[in-house]
Amino acid sequence: MTSPAGHDLDQLLGMWARTHRLADADAERIRQAIVPEDLPLPATWWSDLNGRVSEAIARATAMPASAVAALT
């Protein structure tokens, strides 16, 4: 139902909610206050990187199945 001022309860509550919602900037300030800035890399960073590089090399140098099939 619309009020004499032209705003129903849902509209007014919507405005109220928008003015009170946690702003992204405030959320980011909170997050930054909790999480330290200069965190170290994870302990497994070297083996993770090594694994990914090895996998990429293996993929890049593997002969395509169609080529293997043509040779046999």
Partner 1 sequence: MTTSRDDAAVFTRLFDRHRHAVHAYFLGRVSDPELARDLVQETFLRAWRRLSEVGPLPDGQQRAWIFTVARNLAIDSHRTGAARRAAEDALRHEATTRETTVAGPHAQAELGERLARLELAIGQLPEDQRVVLSMTTVGGMTSRQIGEALGEPPGTVRYRLSQARRQLAAALDLEEDGA
Question: Applying CB under 8 A, which residues contact partner 1?
Answer: 1, 3, 5-9, 12-17, 19-22, 26-27, 30-31, 33-36, 39-43
What is the spatial distance between Cα 20 and Cα 28, in angstroms, rounded to a whole number?
16
Which one, 45 or 57, has the nearer CB to partner 1? 45
For residue 61, the minimal CB distance to partner 1 (Å) is 30
- The Cα–Cα gap between 45 and 41 comes to 6
Distance, in Å, from the CA atom of 3 to the CA atom of 5, rounded to the nearest integer, reads 5
Of the pair 16, 67, the CB lying nearest partner 1 is at 16
